[in-house]
Structure formats: C-alpha cells, structure tokens
Amino acid sequence: MNHTVLRTARRIVIKVGSSLVTNQGQGLDHQALAGWAKQISELKQLGKEIILVSSGAIAEGMQRLNWNKRPTAIYELQAAAAVGQMGLAQAYADCFSHYDRLTAQILLTHDDLSNRKRYLNARSTLSTLLKLNIIPVINENDTVVIDEIRFGDNDTLAALVTNLVEAEVLVILTDQSGLFTSDPRKNNNATLVQEANAGDPEIEAMAGGAGSEIGRGGMQSKVIAAKRAARSGAHTVIASGHEPDVLVRLAKGEAIGTCLLANTPVLIARKQWLADHLQIRGSVVLDSGAIRALVEEGKSLLPIGVIEVKGEFDRGEAVSCTDSKGNELARGLVNYSARETRKIMRQPSQNIEKLLGYLDEYELIHRNNLVIL
C-alpha cells in the first residue's frame, strides 16, 4: 500500500457521501459534520490545502420538507436541493467556525466545467479561496441542473474538481472499507484491494452497482472517478468514513482503504492535455524577452511580452504563442480575449486594470496553463 500519497500531498480534494453526512436520510447529521470539520482543520494545521465536496443538500431538503422518500421528478429534486443547500452551507459554516476556519459555498454544473470560460472562472475563484486560507465546500448545483448536464453523482463532480484545481490526491469517503475483489455484502471471501492502478479494467470489473438509497453513486462510480482524476495525475484513496480520524491517519501515512494510483505526475498530465486536446483559436506573437521567459525560465506570459495579436479568441480559449517568424513555441489558455489583449499588449501588468477597467489575472497565460512545444 502506498502510505505516502496523502502525507506528501499539498492540495487534496475530499468527497464525503450522503451516508456520512445524513441521518439515514433524516436530514443532516450535525455531529458527523462537526467531526469532518475537526479532521479537516487538523489537515490544515499540517499545511494541506483542502477542497471539500459534500453531498447532503437533497437529504436535508427532504427532511425540511417532511418528505420520506427521495423524489424522482427533476423539479422536486431541485426544490429539495434549494431548501437543503441553505442548511448544508450553514451547518458547515457553524462547524468550521469552532476552529476559526472560514468556508465558502461553490455550486457547479457540468456546463460550468465544459465551458472553457466558466471553467477558468471557477478555477480562479477556487485558487483565490485557497490563497485566502478558506475551505471551499462544493456541491452539484441541483437547483438548476437537468439530466443533460448533471454529473450523475458527487464522485464524478469530485474527480472533475480534482482536475480543475490540479489536486495531487482525491479522497472518496464512503460507508464501505474500500474496493473489494467482489461485493463483500454477498461474498464472504471478498478481499480488500489495497493498491492498484487507476483505470485498470480489472478494477472496474470488480466494482458493483449503486450503493445506498440516499446517494446515487456506488463503488463503480468511485472507480470511474479515480480514472478521471488520474487523467490530471491525481491519485485516489477510497476509504470508509466510519474509520475514526480517517483523514488525519491517512495524512500521517497510515494505510487505510484502497489506493488507486495515477501513472503520470500532475503537471505533466495537465501539459499533455493542453498539448493534445485543445483547438487553437488564435495566436500571440512574442518578443525575445517573453520567449526567453517562457522557454528558458519556465515563467508565465505577461502582456508586456506580446507584440501582435492574430485572430479572434475569448477568455479561456487556447492560443498559440509564436515568434516573429511564425514558429509556434507554446500554447495555452488565455486569460483575456483578443480584443482585451490588443489593449494591454506591450503594457506592464499593473496597467491592466486602468486599461480595461478591471483585472482578472496579472498574467496573459499562467505557466500552469501553458505547454512549451
């Protein structure tokens, strides 16, 4: 078992399932939430950056509405979520306040992460919250989703958030001890898989169907989530949330649950994705100083280094970085549109706000969103 994935990780996404934050569907378990706040606060003291993906809004809404059975109609689910989100956000804020920790509520849909501009906006917001030492609490925006854009379960959402923030580890906490060779509820000979490679077809074959009636995701969705997380280089740990102090023990190197390993380091995985999967929308021509900063020094691209803008592109789209002869040197996700870039090129970053009336980022393309070719 790889004991070090959490101990050495700085940025961690933690997903807690419905069964770990609700009283068997009877609203939120405030004692359980207090326990997660305590453990996450201890991880913060160890220097970790934590993003929490929490289920529980619909269950809380059902309890507040006195509904005994989870509705199937999408609008009733949305209504339950709208009511329940109030309780979920307040409950976490109260629990973390005991440790002088601020929380922030983030609601996302699949649309937010497939739309390049909104993807960058969500990423910028989360990065800012982490810099401010605030704990983001993320949930699917069940109040507005329809079947075409819903994640399907918070395991998938947690994996996409892991990709979004470039976390090193995704921890999926469930009511099971981890991944077993077969369903332990049906087979007494089933054994725990302590370590495997994320995306291994054998692992997916071992995972069963949906779990509890309260939540939507079973072990299969967790294994698929691990495969998604591995695309950006993140390892996944699937463990029981009923284990005492499970997060703290994992962070100190204890082997608990199942560790599904990614084969590619975080930054390399992201660079491969940038290089292989982005459709180029335009280009910026760089001066010699900017070329040196990018290629030799591994720095971000600043507006002052751009001498010409070609084509039309929006914030968040992929652009090519070329020299004056048209040779492509790099490509990346741009923080300003072509129109905005033309206004701020050849200018120092401190002039951006004066020229545009606002400041999104100091960099035209951040080095984490840039790949040298």
pLDDT class of 228 with cuts at 50, 70, 90: confident
pLDDT class of 369 with cuts at 50, 70, 90: confident
Q: Which of 152-166, 221-235, 343-357 has the highest mean pLDDT?
A: 343-357
Domain closes at, from 221, 243, 270: 270
Question: In terms of domains, do 145 and 251 share one?
Answer: yes
Domain closes at, from 221, 252, 270: 270
pLDDT class of 373 with cuts at 50, 70, 90: confident
Over residues 246-300, the pLDDT tens digits come to 999 999 999 999 999 998 777 676 676 666 545 788 999 999 999 999 999 999 9
Q: What is the CATH number of the domain that holds 355?
A: 2.30.130.10
Q: Which one is predicted more confidently, 370 or 45?
A: 45
Q: d(Cα 310, Cα 284) in Å, to the nearest integer?
A: 6
| Beta strands, E only, 74-181 | 103-108, 135-140, 169-174
Question: Taking Cα atoms as reference points, which of 337, 331, 330 lies closest to residue 360?
Answer: 337
Question: In terms of domains, do 266 and 283 share one?
Answer: no
What does the pLDDT read at residue 211? 44
Q: d(Cα 176, Cα 184) in Å, to the nearest integer?
A: 9
Question: In terms of domains, do 257 and 288 share one?
Answer: no
Overall domain count for the chain: 2
Over residues 69-121, the pLDDT tens digits come to 888 888 898 899 899 999 999 999 999 999 999 999 999 987 787 777 788 88
CA angle 340, 344, 347 (to 5 degrees): 170
Q: Say whether pLDDT at 306 is over 80.
A: yes
Question: In terms of domains, do 80 and 124 share one?
Answer: yes
Give Cα separations from 332 to 245, 277, 299, 367 (angstroms): 41, 11, 13, 8
Cβ burial 104-123 (10 Å sphere, 16+ → b, else e): bbbbbbbbbbeebeebbebb
Question: In terms of domains, do 247 and 154 share one?
Answer: yes
What does the pLDDT read at residue 320? 94
Question: In terms of domains, do 48 and 190 share one?
Answer: yes
Q: Say whether pLDDT at 212 is over 50.
A: no
Q: What is the CATH number of the domain that holds 153?
A: 3.40.1160.10
Domain region containing 9: 5-270
Q: Say whether pLDDT at 126 is over 80.
A: yes
Question: In terms of domains, do 207 and 296 share one?
Answer: no
pTM for the model stands at 0.79
pLDDT class of 2 with cuts at 50, 70, 90: low
Instruction: List, in sequence order, the alpha helices (H) in 132-184.
Output: 154-165
Answer yes or no: are the C-beta atoms of 294 and 36 closer than 8 Å.
no
CA angle 184, 190, 192 (to 5 degrees): 95
Answer yes or no: are the C-beta atoms of 216 and 152 closer than 8 Å.
yes
Local structure of residue 208 (DSSP, 8 states)? -
Question: In terms of domains, do 122 and 51 share one?
Answer: yes
Answer yes or no: are the C-beta atoms of 113 and 119 closer than 8 Å.
yes
Question: In terms of domains, do 289 and 142 share one?
Answer: no
Q: Which one is predicted more confidently, 368 or 43?
A: 43
pLDDT more than 90, % of the chain: 61
The helix-helix angle for 57-64 and 74-97 (nearest 10°) equals: 100
What does the pLDDT read at residue 205? 82
Question: In terms of domains, do 264 and 333 share one?
Answer: no
What does the pLDDT read at residue 357? 96
Q: Say whether pLDDT at 161 is over 80.
A: yes
What does the pLDDT read at residue 217? 45
What amino acid occupies position 19?
S
Contacts of 43 (CB under 8 A, 6+ apart): 12, 50, 247, 248, 251
Q: How many residues does the chain have?
A: 373
For the chain, the straight-line distance linking the first and the last C-alpha, in angstroms and rounded, comes to: 36
Q: Say whether pLDDT at 226 is over 80.
A: yes
Q: Say whether pLDDT at 240 is over 70.
A: yes
Over residues 44-69, the pLDDT tens digits come to 999 999 999 998 998 899 999 999 88
pLDDT more than 70, % of the chain: 91
What does the pLDDT read at residue 90? 97
Question: In terms of domains, do 198 and 331 share one?
Answer: no
Q: Say whether pLDDT at 215 is over 60.
A: no
Domain closes at, from 235, 251, 270: 270
Question: In terms of domains, do 66 and 134 share one?
Answer: yes
